[in-house]
Each structure stands twice: as C-alpha cells, then as structure tokens.
Structure 1
Amino acid sequence: MVDNIYLLIFYGVVLLLILVASFLLFYIKNQNVVWKQKRQLQETQIEQQKELLSAVIDSQEVERKRIGQDLHDEIGGTLSAIKLMLNSLKNKLSTDQEEVMGEAKQLIDKMIVDVRHISHDLSPPGLAVFGLFTTIEAFVTLINNTGEIKIFIEQDENIEEVALPEKTALALFRVLTQLVDNTIKHANATEITISFKRETELLIAYQDNGKGFDLAVLEKRGGIGMQNIQSRLQMVNATYQMETEIGEGFKLTVSCPLSPEN
C-alpha cells in the first residue's frame, strides 16, 4: 500500500514536471512568434518611412529643378535684357550718368552671377551628365573663387569609374553642399577637406578645422540641417559617423554601398 502511494506521488510529480515543461515550451514559442511579428512590423514601418521620405525628397527635387530653371531662364534672361538696354545708352549719357550706369551694370552682373549660382545649386545641371565627383569639383571651385574658405579634394585615381545611381549621387551632393554651408555659417573654419575612397563601399570623409561643437547638444536640439543630412543618407542606405569636440573641428565619415557593377 505504501509503495503504491509513493508510486502515485512519483507519477504525479513527473506529470507536473511535464506540464510545467510543456507550458514553458509553449510560452517560449509564443514569445518567439510575438517577437518575430514585432520585428516584421518594425521593418515594415521603417520601409514605409523610407518610401515616404523618398517620395517627399523626390517631390522637393522636382520643385527645386523647376524653380532653378525659372530663375535661370526668366530672371537671368530679364537681367541680361536690362544690361543690353543700358549698353544701348552708352554714348547718349553725360560723364556722371555713365558712371552711375557703370555701377548699375556691375550690380546687374553680380545679380546674374548670383542667380546662376542659386539656380545651379537648386538643380545641379552637370550631375546627371558628369556624375557626382565632377559636379562636386565644380562646386568646390565656385566656393574657392569666393575667397571665403579653402576647400581641398582628395580622391583615389580610379574614383571617376564609380557609377552611382542618379538618386544616390544627388543625395550625396546635397549632403556635401549642406555640410559646406554649415561650416561656412557656423564653424569659423578656414579649410575643408573632402576625400573619396573606393573600397567595397564608397567612403566619403568631410572634415573642417572649425571650432567644433558638443555632440550631446546637437542630439538634444536636432538641427534641421543635420536632420536633412541624416534623412538623405538613410534614403540611399548609407551609414555615417560623426566626430567633433569643442575646439577640435568637425568630421563626418559616410559609407555608401556600391552596386555589383562597381
């Protein structure tokens, strides 16, 4: 009789352990399913955000291109016509009037150049034809000619052979021009260096010798310029790393995936 009781207790304990183990296995399996569903939902949301971001940026670029062309064709053409009209009066004015007209023509020439620069910045004309690297060189030459800051470009010899999709090239161009604009406005820098290296990915390093800043402050404030940079890099699946300290300048390293053809 006692042996039967012990046997029943033993079987009861074994059954209880089986039930507990079954429950734990069911719980773990269920948690794995929930975790996978959450991950799929997050991936779907991230993909939707990227698609929405891409659509917004595409629409912005279309509008930039339209405004740039209007500036170049309409405003630029009107300024050139005004200059021709002033030239037609050259021999009909007194000395004092000619001096005033000369100053007016200089202002018009400056406005024509400014309009051309603005229209090219809104819609870089050479990007689709000549690619990112040649377009950046032209942009850098334009900035260097102002004498406001000195920009140096360092690149691998075969970098021109790297073929980038137009959307990727445009995104990287916008990022670099935004960085240059930030440096000129805020960094009190005298030099900028932009380097391009071709490895398994395209590596871009942007560095200035400005006053730098506290990264924690930037992350807290979330400036619009840096948000635009992050959004454009995210859109083309590029990653980046920022390095800066107060008094130590600023550096941004970008790693952009290349297509198999490269």
Structure 2
Amino acid sequence: MSLFWRIFLLNAAVLVVAVLLLLGPVTVSTPVLFGEALVLIAGLVAMLVANAALLRIGLAPLQRLNRAMATADLLRPGHRTEVTGTGSIAELTTTFNAMLGRLEAERTTSAGRALSAQEAERRRIAQELHDEVGQTLTAVLLQLKHTADQVPQPARDDLHQAQEATRAGLDEIRRIARRLRPGVLEELGLHSALRALAAEFTTSRLGVTTHITPGLPRLDRATELVVYRVAQEALTNTARHSGGEAVEVHLRPLPSGGVSLIVRDDGRGLRSAPEGAGMRGMRERALLIDADLLLGAGPNGGTQVRLNVAGPRPEGRTESPG
C-alpha cells in the first residue's frame, strides 16, 4: 500500500469514528434527525475529499521522485527530477539528483577503464593470433605443399584438400584478427576503415554500401575508435538478426561541427526486442565521448543506429578506450 493511501485511510478512519460517535451516543438529539445525519454525512464526504486532495498535492514530489528512481538508467544520463517547494521532500530530491550525477560520472569512468582493458586484450589476442597461430598455419601450408610434391597422385589429392582447409582456416584467423584489432583504422584512418568494414560484411545475401561526405572534421583517435566500434557492432547485429538484404553506412557532418554516423538496414526492425549486450556496449562507448546514440526504426522501415558526435576536441582531452 502506498504512503498516500496509508495516510488517507488513517485519517478517514478517525473521521468515520468521529461521525459514528456523533450519530450514536454523542449526538445533539435522540433519535438522530434525518437532517442532522445528512449534514454529518455531507461533512464527512467533504472532509475526505479535501483530505485526499491535500495529500495528493503534498505527496506529488515524492511520487515524481519515485518514478525517477524507477526509470533511472545510467546509460541514458542527464535526466533529473524537478525540485519543487522546500522541506524534507525537496532535500531528498536534491540529494537523489546529486547521487545520480555521481553514479553517472563513476559509471562513465569505470566503463572507460573497462573498454580500455577490453581494447588492450583485443590487441593482445589479435597479435597472438597473427604471430603464433598464423605463422604455425603458414608453416603447415608450406609443409603440406612440400609433401604433396613428393607423394603419388592419390595421396596428393588428399594433401591438396588439406591445404585448402588449412588456407581457409588461416584466412578466418586473419579475419578475426582484423576485427579484434582494426589495423586499417590505425594506419589509414576512419574513412578507409569504414569502407573496409563494409566490404568485410558484404556477402551474397547482404549488400553494404558506404556514403562518406567529403570535408568532414578531424576526430581524435578515441572518437574514431568509438565510431568504428559502433559501426562494427551495428553491422554485426544486422548480419545476425535483421534478415535484411541491404545496409547503408553514412558518415555526415553536423551543423554543430561534429559528425553523425548512421547505419540503416531494410530488415525486420527492432520491434519489441529488449536491448542486448551489443546495444548496451554501443551506449557505453557513446558515453565515453559524450555522443548521443539513437536506436529506432529507419525512414523506410528496418533498423537505424545513429551516433551523433559533438565537435572535434583536442588530442588528450578524452580518455581513450584503446
């Protein structure tokens, strides 16, 4: 039972008992006249209505605070409860807003550290895949070729099949290493990295096109990495879940001097599916650079992921997630 109804029912019980006493042993006339009973009942109803209205007004800030607590989401920061009036409820609202601000700041800091550790681990794994597993498979390929040149024809065919399987495994290892560590991004920049990413996700059933507006402002390395990872996660979700056949990746300037990344597909859309780890990861990355991430339906259906990045900041002002 809510606080409002508890207080209201307690007050109502007191008033009802008072009226019963007036109608019973404590009364102005015996027997009770109809007019007196009518006046008392009308007075009781009026007092209950007035009591309910006053309690509703008085407890409205507490109800707003309760809704804010229930809907607070650290991945969507900036929402605060309006502080109205004075007294204990106003102090409680102010304290809650301050606590929410501290939690958002701590969440952003911890997410930045976690993503930095994640990027470092990705680089380490990609390096080991390239140096250890890749070199081992390359050596196996050379050995298979050398052996195939010296054995009779029936065994040579089997060795050629083993070569093809090993070569396919080596290509897959290199593809995984590129996803873990976007070397194109580090060497050639964001534009080339997005085009390479689109080519990587293009298959016989899914076409990915990129549209990059010339003259975009320069972004720091941390921002470029966030934009790349958001595009990568959006394309991964599209390839796995959308059921679409075409994806568009746009990188456009914003009037404010920033850039906007848009990944739009023609699939079945988000519908009522809850946000998974991939979407939460995109929101956490967006928070690191104070960007706005919008997930919803595209203009022609499907799903649209939009990342709006503010104007460029000097190098060193943002903690890099990599």
Query: Normalising to structure 2: TM-score of the pair?
Result: 0.65
2:204 is aligned with what amino acid? G
The structure-2 alpha-carbon separation of the partners of 1:30 and 1:188, relative to structure 1 and needing over 3 Å to count, comes to closer
Q: CA deviation at 1:36?
A: 4.6
Cα deviation, residue 96, structure 1: 1.2
How much does 1:32 deviate?
6.4
The reply to whether residue 135 of structure 1 matches residue 190 of structure 2 is no
**Which residue matches 1:76?**
134
Summarize deviations over 1:167-191 as a string: whole Å, max 9, x none.
2211221111111111111111111
Determine whether 1:240 maps to 2:293: yes
Gaps of 5+ in 1: 1-26
- Counterpart Cα distance in 2 of 1:106 and 1:165: 42
RMSD of equivalent CA atoms: 2.3
Aligned to 1:156: 213
Q: Would you say the 8 A contact 2:259–2:309 is kept in 1?
A: yes
Residue 282 of structure 2 aligns with an amino acid whose one-letter code is: I
Counterpart of 1:176 (choices 218, 228, 231) is: 231
Are the structure 2 counterparts of residues 59 and 260 from structure 1 closer, same or farther at C-alpha, using a change threshold of 3 Å? Answer: closer
The gaps in structure 2 that reach 5 residues or longer are 1-84, 315-322
Residue matched to 2:16:
none
Q: 1:194 is matched with which residue?
A: 249
Letter matched to residue 248 of structure 1: G
SS of alignment partner, residue 89 of structure 1: helix
Following superposition of structure 1 onto structure 2, how do residues 48-67 of structure 1 map, counting pairs within 5 Å?
Answer: 48-67=106-125
Q: Quote the offset at 1:38 in angstroms.
A: 3.8
Query: In 1, Cα distance between the equivalents of 2:283 and 2:204?
Result: 29
127-136 vs 250-259, which moves further:
127-136
State yes or no: 1:204 paired with 2:261: yes
In 1, are the aligned partners of 2:148 and 2:160 still within 8 Å (CA)?
no
One-letter code aligned to 1:94: P
1-structure distance, mates of 2:313, 2:194: 24
Whole-Å Cα distance in 1 between the matches of residues 172 and 225 of structure 2?
22
The structure that has the greater radius of gyration is 2
Deviations 1:220-255 (A, max 9, x none): x3311211111111222111222228x931112211
Partner of 1:94: 152
Identify, as 1 or 2, the structure richer in helix.
Answer: 1
**Given the two structures, how large is their TM-score scaled by the length of structure 1?**
0.80
